[in-house]
Structure 1
Amino acid sequence: MNFYNSEFLTTHSQSIVDFYKDRCVDNDLGGYFQNYLDDGTTFNNGFRQLVSSTRMVVNFCRAAKLLNNDEYLAIAKHGLDYVEQQHWRESSEAYAWTLQDNQPQDMTQQAYGYAFVLLCYAHCYKADVIDSDIKISETFDLLESRFWQVEEGIYADTIYDDGSLCDYRGQNANMHICEALIAAYDATQSPIYLEKAQHLANRFCFELSAQSLGLVYEHFTPELEPDLEYNKGDPKNLYRPWGFQPGHQTEWAKLLMQLNTFQARPEFVEKAQYLFDIAYSKAWDTFHGGLVYGFDTDYQTCDSDKYFWVQAESFAAAAMLFDETKQPQYLEQYTDLWDYCWQHFVDHEFGAWFRVLTGANQKYSNQKSEAGAKCDYHTLGACFDVLEFSFS
């Protein structure tokens, strides 16, 4: 099967959108249902998490353009209204991280969440869901004033309910802020967003990675040294797992390739190749297929589970590297990833992808998507990224 063509990617993207489009809108509470079983049945219907609320808006904004269906814009606007009217709490000028039946549960301010608010507004503006870029600049200003650490050159992660700043530093929120800044630049052509995205790429992929085998480590001490003890007993943590994340190496590779299209940086392409090559060679499961979730500082697997997003971000990076370098191994790896995902992750009965499998490719449960963990933003986004990068 030929996975490297626009017809396949478009058809598969449509099948993912079809899983959500007729069942995701909650007309009672507003926003989207965020928890789904494999067959599309929803559960925990009143629960909302900021990351899924914003990512699903992004999904429908991008689908409207790339699948040529303006009907999706109304679904996107429905989701944006919820972000603005429920997640955003005007009284405290802050975002609710989680809500239950529209009542805030967790008001911790997470840079990770703000990253996706920024991404959401960027794609809403590009798709003409909103007619002004003011919300993009306002969200960027909030990130700058609340999370940016001038002396460290990175964004902090967490502001507690009492307003104090957590001393944890990590790459994950910064990576997604970089992603959002790329989208903001693409939507507005304002150079401030490109310059900040380039800065984050340099900071994490070159400067800080020099301390960790040239790879991007997940967690840092307040002195910005790799924190090898943080979550050592919790390698499956949803946003802050221990060890090296192969999927984050390949996701940074993808971002570096996207940045290179705006302003040619040969060192970005070279670093993208390094990150991808190491991640793929150390994380590919030669027996069961697929990329494992994590490896340690000796490149030994520390979590053999297979996650949907790791495979998706990796096939997007592989496609971009092939398109840019024409080196055949990247097309082979793209195809191998798709062969594996087509066999094990794609739900050919009900649509969309499964979220997580064991190392031997067995499902843990019949829960396909969960608030904060999966809304097929990674799978759909990876298909859209390849369509835009390689076939537009």
Structure 2
Amino acid sequence: MSQIPFDAVRAWLFQDALPFWAAHGIDRVHGGFLEEVGLDGGPTACGFKRVRVICRQTYAFAHAAHLGWAEGDALSRLGVDYLKAHASLPDGGWAKTLTREGGILDPTPDLYELSFVIFAMAWRYRVSRDADALRLLHSTLDYIQTNMRGPGMAFWSHLPPGGPRLQNPHMHLTEACLAAFEATHDQRFLDQAAELVNLLRTRLFDGVTLGERFDEDWRRLTCEEGRAVEPGHHFEWAWILAQYQRLTGVDVSTQALALAEFAEQHGVDSVSGAVFDSVRDDGTPIAKSSRAWTNTERIKAWLGVYELTGRDPTGELKSALWLLFDRYFAVAKPGLWIDQFDGEGEPMSKAAPAGIVYHLLLAFSEVLRLEPELKAQKRVGQAP
């Protein structure tokens, strides 16, 4: 574990993962993308398709095309066409869940799903300049802003409103709006992202921990459920804030660093380096299990902090990347992974969720984007 495994990252992404999901992640019977595949590489009996997962796969193949992977363009177009044919609703919204066959299973307007529609369409437009993707990008944000605005700040997590207000969909809407701004240069997306970053700074994040569940006025719930926080989301927001500062020039480095530091101090197993699934707001572990995505977000967070502050991310990158290769990717089928391990390092998953391709591709593409800088930094730091 002496160095950052750049070559292994590149090989796994382009030689293993993308070819595997292009060959085995498509629903050859009913169309669109599979929700998951078994660790033997075949389809499972899963009877539904979440719109967020279809969008994530659409994004992943679009980003792959942006990186020069030729098959990505046609596969991202397949995703957009499937979404339009099966998940769009007459009022401009999108369904939450489809049946395996492509019928609407749950038409609930859900902010999480809608955010990923924006994210997918932004990346599709970025690589294709497709006018329909641009139209759907705008109409989806129109729907959110018109129909899902709640009292106080930000949005309802679903309609009709009910239950606690949630942090996580707002995080992904911020991410989606930043991607949409990069794709279109339309100020409306940056304005919406700015509003959501303000929500983070004034309500969601108290300077130490990031809340998950709130009341209607964005006060953090005081019950045990309200005190549960997710290190993976701390890491994820740190990277999103780095992208926000890059695009706006607004200094959010203090918040980004604080989010990453809490997660690193309290949310990473000191022995294995795995990121816990959840901890209490005082840092006490709740679930010492660790999904693959929490570890990809650790990678992204410290790369984001590196770009903001120059802080060397080498230690965290080596820890998280080698953990993925040595533990999560130790499967018979290259391009797959075991999605979750318990606190003792025992596997808990029998299938690979397609939605995690988004996390892996985004983290690995960030590693490769910053590879020249990180290698140059290492050379500069070496003794003569």
Q: What is aligned with 2:203? A: 208
Contact 1:108-1:158 within 8 A present in 2 as well: yes
Task: Report the CA distance shift for 1:220/1:3 in structure 2 as closer, same or farther (over 3 A).
Answer: farther
Preserved contact between residue 123 and residue 183 of structure 1 (Cα < 8 Å) = yes
2:181 is aligned to: 185
Comparing 80-89 with 11-20, greater Cα deviation is found at: 11-20
Name the SS for the 2:223 alignment partner: coil
The aligned counterpart of 2:97 is 98
- Aligned residue among 329, 342, 355 for 1:346: 329
State the AA in 2 paired with 1:207.
T
Q: Does structure 1 residue 194 correspond to structure 2 residue 190?
A: yes
Q: Are the aligned partners of 1:35 and 1:44 in contact in 2 as well (CA < 8 Å)? A: no
Distance (whole Å) between structure 2 residues aligned to residue 185 and residue 247 of structure 1: 25
1:53-132 equivalence runs, <5 A? 53-66=54-67, 68-90=68-90, 93-100=92-99, 101-128=101-128, 130-131=130-131
**Structure 1 residue 148: deviation in Å?**
2.1
Among candidates 345, 369, 372, match of residue 361 of structure 1: 345
* Residues 151-170 of structure 1: pairs in structure 2 closer than 5 A: 151-159=151-159, 164-166=160-162, 168-170=164-166
Partner-residue secondary structure (3-state), 1:109: coil
Give the Cα separation in 1 of the matches to 2:178 and 2:363.
15
1:301 equivalent in alignment to 2:285: yes
Check the 8 A contact 1:111/1:158 in 2, yes or no. Answer: yes
Query: Which has a greater percent of helix?
Result: 2
Distance 1:167 1:39 in 2: 39
TM-score by length of 1: 0.88
Query: Structure 1 CA distance, aligned partners of 2:250 and 2:129?
Result: 33
Contact 1:219/1:230 (CA < 8 Å) preserved in 2? no
Q: Percent identity?
A: 21
Deviations 1:33-88 (A, max 9, x none): 2221112111126521111111000010001111x123221111111111111011
Conserved in 1, the CA contact under 8 Å of 2:5 and 2:318? Answer: no
Distance across 2 between alignment mates of 1:5 and 1:186: 29
Checking the alignment, whether the CA contact within 8 Å between 1:353 and 1:376 is kept in structure 2 is no
1:246·1:310 contact (CA, 8 Å) conserved in 2? yes
Equivalent of 1:381, from 359, 362, 381? 362
Question: Which amino acid in 2 is paired with 1:208?
Answer: R
Deviation at 1:315, TM superposition (A): 0.5
Q: Name the CA distance, whole Å, in 1 between partners of 2:94 and 2:131.
A: 23
Structure 1 pair 248–375 and aligned structure 2 pair: CA distance change class (3 A): closer
Whether 2:228 is the aligned partner of 1:243: answer yes
List per-residue Cα deviations over 1:339-360 (Å, max 9, x = no partner): 2222111245312332111012
- Could you list the per-position Cα deviations for residues 312-345 of structure 1 after superposition, in whole angstroms to 9, with x for gaps in the alignment? 01101112222432223x2211211112222111
State the match for 1:235 in structure 2.
none
Deviation of 1:230 after TM superposition, in Å, equals 7.2
CA distance in 1, matches of 2:300, 2:11: 16
Cα separation, 1, equivalents of 2:224 and 2:372 = 41
Once the two structures are TM-superposed, the CA of residue 220 in structure 1 deviates from its matched residue by 0.3
Relative to structure 1, the CA distance from residue 182 to residue 22 in structure 2 (aligned partners, 3 Å threshold; closer, same or farther) is same
Distance 1:297 1:249, change over 3 A: same
1:200, distance to aligned residue in structure 2 (A): 0.9
Deviations 1:143-196 (A, max 9, x none): 1112123x422121011xxxx332531110000000000100000011121122
Taking structure 1 as reference, are residues 87 and 391 closer, same or farther at Cα in structure 2, changes over 3 Å only?
A: farther
AA matched with 1:30 = G
Q: Which amino acid in structure 2 is aligned with residue 321 of structure 1?
A: V
Q: Which moved more, 1:94-103 or 1:13-22?
A: 94-103
Q: Report the counterpart of residue 239 of structure 1 in structure 2.
A: none
Letter in 1 for 2:166: G
Mapped partners of 2:131, 2:228: distance in 1: 42
How many angstroms apart in 2 are the aligned matches of 1:73 and 1:375? 20
- Kept in 2, the 8 Å contact 1:34–1:47? The answer is yes
Aligned equivalent of 1:217: 211
Matched, 1:271 2:271: no
Query: Residues 278 and 265 (structure 1 numbering): CA distance in 2 closer, same or farther, change over 3 Å?
Result: same
Give the aligned partner of residue 376 of structure 2.
Answer: none
Note the residue ranges of structure 1 that are not aligned, 5 or more in a row: 233-241
The alignment partner of 1:22 has SS state of: helix
Paired residues of 1:290 and 1:337 also in contact (CA < 8 A): yes
Residue 222 of structure 2 is matched in structure 1 by 228
Match for residue 315 of structure 1?
A: 299
Structure 1: which amino acid aligns with 2:310? K
Q: What secondary structure is seen at the aligned counterpart in 2 of 1:352?
A: coil
Equivalent position of 2:238 in the other structure = 253
Q: Work out whether residues 228 and 243 of structure 1, in 8 Å CA contact, stay in contact via their aligned partners in 2.
A: no
Shift in CA distance, 39/2, structure 1 to aligned 2, threshold 3 Å: farther
Q: Give the aligned partner of residue 22 of structure 2.
A: 21
The residue identity in structure 2 corresponding to 1:20 is W
